[in-house]
């Protein structure tokens, strides 16, 4: 149970003065649903204001505080024009205070004609007019404004203003209790970190630069600690040692020798499977590095040992593709492979469920459907999860609660993740790396092209399709962001253009399509009926289409290098493969282009991921959410890179020494886990 001290922080925002149903919405839009969220809504930056006695003094563009007397209100003649309030300083210089939309009502209240008011905001010039658009503050006396010339700037949503948010943050901070210290004394001293509550207050004031680091560290520590507890609990769980005798693997007639990396990974997995405690392993390898065979070998070990194996895919179509690949490869072994998706209903579904219960099905491939409550296994020994990044830790935990004994878990991902981020997301797992490509893979010809050559690119695409090939066209889409609608509109517009040229040969797939429609479109492309797939997300191009040997990536500057690399890995296995990175004009002049040039130079996904992190503080790696968010909201990428390794070691030591979190520091650390809602970690505590 959550410690009572935290209750005030977990109260709804509506418990704060001034928050009703109307304010709740914009707050939610910012992800602020509880008092705690407001306390952690740290300023984006700070403004330094200058108090001036008159408007002769400051320069346009400056943030000022000045006393003005209201001369008159000039109401907007129509809805689009702003409401202007003319006001003058002590010398008679006139300035317009400009309000758009509904804010004009407030303006009338705040700025009565003939009265003197202290106004804070950014001075601008519009024609000959001096103006302040939407002043940040209007006050009757100077005290509050002059006393605090450094001011936080918070990110806002429509319906919120700086003073309003500042006020709510202030209330939230007042409710913040003193909490026991979960960071070791030595670490605190070394970094000069203040206590938790002080750190919060200081961070909002922009004082004490280390304060913010401490808050980030808290979050990183909470995450690492929870993952370490998962790992620790897993180690103590009773799993099922799976030792195969090789009889099935011996019958596999692979048309190629395994790469060294594949053999090494299989060896690592084999070692884990033989243990009593369940495996938690991540298999990381670029697209095309041959993860499927590794998974198959692992599943055959499980079956040889008398258990069943399940493979979980993120979409139906990927599940079907895996099913077909595995069934073909496993053919000579006589192993019974089945497919189960949400689409299977009635008798077909019943018979599969029966097969799982009676054990006649050895290997099941499917979507989430294979883990529904109604699905029971005779003896599930191994779960393989493809495209791991789609599943969070808590989902991973749920999966492992399926069997009588905890199954072994092998997660697979093609996303090259730099080491630090990997610790953040998969810190509880061991890692196998497929760092060697099967021989015979052709390098991909990668070009960077300006968007104003779009017509040429489309002509090239037409020639490519006429020659009997297929192609992808990728438009970025940032999910859950302000620009989501715009992004979707852009993708639809582009699709319309392409459809005008290529007719029914072009299909569009985006995240907001109904699953059935999406599947139907994907199938038309995978089967070769459709020649051009216009897609907005990475996962939609996850299906292998050997004939699709060209990919155009629009607004490539918005993708991270690692992501671009993952995308381009999807182009088919033909001989002439090419990827065209289309850039908007403004991106061409930026260093963006230099960065993208790296894409031509190297096919090494890890190098690209590390470069991403180095060049852009990784911002872009996660900028488009497609590659999966960091699990953090306080720590930024720079802080993650710098502080996560320390937090991770700290967490490991703590769990080694005090796995039950029973010491004083352990108790404090429990509070920390609740504070950051990593309480699934607490539930796994030893003896708890």
Tell me the β-bridge partners of 67.
Answer: 118
Of 178 and 324, the one with the shorter C-beta distance to ligand ADP is 324
Angle, alpha carbons 575-580-585 (nearest 5°):
170
Of 32 and 414, the one with the shorter C-beta distance to ligand ADP is 414
Query: Residue 64: what are its φ and ψ, rounded to 5°?
Result: -130, 165
Of positions 153, 195, 258, 490, contacts ligand ADP by CB under 6 A: 258
What's the min distance (Å) between Cβ of 298 and ligand ADP? 13
Of 259 and 315, the one with the shorter C-beta distance to ligand ADP is 259
What's the min distance (Å) between Cβ of 526 and ligand ADP? 14
Q: For residues 389-418, which are near ligand ADP according to CB under 6 A?
A: 414
Q: From 8-16, 217-225, 255-263, 310-318, give the range in contact with ligand ADP by CB under 6 A.
A: 255-263
Q: For residues 231-250, which are near ligand ADP according to CB under 6 A?
A: none
What is the enclosing helix (H) or strand (E) of 281? strand 280-285
Of 290 and 623, the one with the shorter C-beta distance to ligand ADP is 290
Measured CA to CA, the distance from residue 215 to residue 543 in angstroms comes to: 41
Of 215 and 313, the one with the shorter C-beta distance to ligand ADP is 313
Our finding on whether 331 is near ligand ADP (CB under 6 A) is no
What's the min distance (Å) between Cβ of 440 and ligand ADP? 7
Closest among 206, 223, 218, 141 to 169, alpha carbons compared: 206
Measured CA to CA, the distance from residue 191 to residue 107 in angstroms comes to: 46
Of positions 290, 605, 618, 628, contacts ligand ADP by CB under 6 A: 290
Of 31 and 250, the one with the shorter C-beta distance to ligand ADP is 250
Measured CA to CA, the distance from residue 102 to residue 669 in angstroms comes to: 47
Q: 404 and 238 in contact (C-beta within 8 Å)?
A: no
Q: For residues 432-491, which are near ligand ADP according to CB under 6 A?
A: 438
Measured CA distances, 490 to 5, 51, 312, 439, 452 (Å)? 48, 45, 33, 39, 16
Closest among 544, 476, 462 to 506, alpha carbons compared: 462
Measured CA to CA, the distance from residue 497 to residue 162 in angstroms comes to: 42
Burial class (CB in 10 A: 0-12, 13-18, 19+), 150: exposed
Q: From 153-161, 281-289, 553-561, 609-617, give the range in contact with ligand ADP by CB under 6 A.
A: 281-289
What's the min distance (Å) between Cβ of 356 and ligand ADP? 25
Instruction: Reduce the secondary structure of 625-648 to three states and give it as a string.
Output: HHHCCCCCCCCCHHHHHHHHHHHH
Of 355 and 416, the one with the shorter C-beta distance to ligand ADP is 416
Task: Give one word for 142, left, alpha or beta, with left for phi > 0 and alpha for psi -120 to 50.
Answer: alpha
Closest among 392, 369, 370, 393 to 380, alpha carbons compared: 370
Of positions 131, 240, 259, 566, contacts ligand ADP by CB under 6 A: 259
Of 179 and 329, the one with the shorter C-beta distance to ligand ADP is 329
Q: For residues 162-221, which are near ligand ADP according to CB under 6 A?
A: none
Of 289 and 367, the one with the shorter C-beta distance to ligand ADP is 289
Of positions 291, 531, 565, 678, contacts ligand ADP by CB under 6 A: 291
Long-range contacts of 212-215 (CB under 8 A, 24+ apart): 212/42, 212/639, 213/639, 213/643, 214/183, 215/40, 215/42, 215/634
Q: 555 and 475 in contact (C-beta within 8 Å)?
A: yes
What's the min distance (Å) between Cβ of 539 and ligand ADP? 13
Q: From 198-206, 251-259, 506-514, 595-603, give the range in contact with ligand ADP by CB under 6 A.
A: 251-259
Closest among 135, 102, 141, 98 to 119, alpha carbons compared: 135
Our finding on whether 293 is near ligand ADP (CB under 6 A) is yes
What's the min distance (Å) between Cβ of 227 and ligand ADP? 25
# of chain residues touching ligand ADP (CB under 6 A): 14
Of positions 105, 126, 129, 256, contacts ligand ADP by CB under 6 A: 256
Of 260 and 392, the one with the shorter C-beta distance to ligand ADP is 260
Q: From 19-27, 291-299, 535-543, 670-678, give the range in contact with ligand ADP by CB under 6 A.
A: 291-299
Our finding on whether 287 is near ligand ADP (CB under 6 A) is yes
Q: 390 and 319 in contact (C-beta within 8 Å)?
A: no
Footprint of ligand ADP on this chain (CB under 6 A)?
A: 256, 258-259, 262, 285, 287-293, 414, 438
């Amino acid at each position: 149970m959550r410690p009572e001290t935290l209750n005030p922080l977990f109260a709804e925002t509506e418990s704060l003065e001034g928050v009703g149903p109307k304010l709740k919405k914009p707050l939610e839009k910012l992800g602020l649903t509880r008092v705690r969220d407001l306390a952690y809504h740290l300023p984006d930056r700070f403004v330094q204001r200058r108090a001036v006695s008159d408007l002769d003094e400051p320069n346009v563009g400056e943030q000022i505080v000045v006393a003005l007397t209201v001369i008159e209100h000039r109401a907007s003649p129509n809805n689009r024009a702003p409401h202007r309030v003319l006001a003058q300083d002590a010398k008679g210089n006139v300035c317009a205070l400009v309000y758009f939309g509904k804010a004009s009502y407030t303006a009338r209240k705040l700025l009565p004609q003939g009265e003197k008011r202290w106004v804070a905001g950014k001075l601008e010039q519009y024609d000959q007019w001096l103006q302040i658009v939407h002043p940040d503050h209007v006050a009757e006396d100077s005290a509050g404004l002059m006393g605090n010339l450094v001011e936080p700037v918070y990110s806002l949503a429509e319906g919120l203003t700086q003073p309003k948010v500042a006020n709510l943050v202030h209330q939230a901070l007042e409710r913040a209790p003193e909490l026991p210290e979960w960071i070791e004394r030595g670490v605190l001293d070394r970094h000069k970190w203040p206590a938790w509550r002080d750190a919060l207050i200081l961070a909002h004031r922009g004082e004490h630069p280390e304060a913010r680091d401490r808050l980030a560290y808290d979050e990183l520590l909470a995450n690492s600690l929870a993952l370490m507890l998962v790992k620790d609990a897993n180690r103590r769980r009773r799993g099922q040692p799976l030792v195969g005798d090789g009889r099935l693997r011996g019958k596999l007639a692979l048309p190629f020798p395994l790469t060294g990396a594949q053999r090494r990974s299989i060896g690592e997995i084999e070692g884990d499977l033989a243990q009593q405690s369940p495996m938690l392993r991540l298999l990381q390898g670029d697209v095309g590095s041959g993860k499927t065979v590794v998974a198959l070998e692992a599943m055959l070990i499980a079956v040889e040992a008398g258990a069943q194996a399940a493979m979980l895919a993120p979409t139906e179509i990927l599940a079907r593709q895996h099913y077909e690949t595995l069934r073909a490869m496993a053919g000579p072994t006589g192993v019974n492979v089945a497919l189960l998706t949400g689409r299977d209903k009635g008798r077909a579904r019943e018979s599969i469920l029966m097969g799982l219960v009676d054990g006649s099905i050895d290997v099941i491939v499917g979507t989430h459907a294979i883990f529904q409550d109604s699905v029971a296994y005779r003896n599930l020994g191994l779960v393989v999860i493809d495209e791991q990044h789609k599943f969070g830790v808590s989902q991973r935990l749920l999966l492992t609660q399926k069997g009588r004994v905890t199954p072994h878990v092998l997660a697979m991902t093609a996303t090259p993740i730099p080491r630090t981020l990997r610790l953040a997301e998969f810190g509880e797992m061991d890692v196998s790396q497929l760092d060697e490509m099967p021989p015979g893979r052709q390098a991909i010809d990668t070009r960077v092209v300006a968007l104003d050559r779009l017509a040429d690119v489309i002509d090239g695409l037409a020639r490519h399709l006429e020659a009997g090939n297929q192609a992808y066209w990728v438009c970025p889409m940032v999910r859950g962001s302000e620009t989501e609608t715009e992004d979707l509109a852009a993708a639809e517009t582009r699709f319309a253009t392409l459809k005008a040229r290529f007719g029914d040969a072009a299909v569009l797939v985006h995240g907001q399509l109904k699953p059935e429609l999406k599947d139907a479109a994907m199938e038309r492309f995978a089967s070769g009926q459709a020649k051009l797939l216009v897609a907005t997300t990475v996962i939609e191009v996850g299906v292998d289409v050997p004939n699709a040997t060209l990919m155009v990536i629009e607004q490539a500057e918005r993708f991270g290098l690692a992501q671009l690399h993952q995308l381009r890995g999807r182009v088919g296995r033909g001989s002439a493969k090419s990827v065209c990175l289309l850039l908007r004009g403004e991106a061409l002049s930026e260093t963006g282009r230099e960065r993208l040039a790296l894409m031509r130079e190297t096919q090494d996904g890890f190098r690209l991921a590390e470069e991403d992190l180095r060049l852009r503080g990784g911002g872009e790696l996660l900028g488009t959410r497609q590659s999966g968010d960091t699990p953090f909201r306080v720590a930024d990428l720079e802080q993650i890179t710098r502080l996560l390794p320390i937090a991770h070691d700290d967490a490991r030591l703590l769990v080694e020494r005090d796995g039950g979190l029973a010491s004083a520091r352990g108790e404090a650390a429990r509070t920390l886990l609740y504070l950051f809602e990593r309480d699934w970690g607490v539930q796994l505590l030893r003896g708890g």
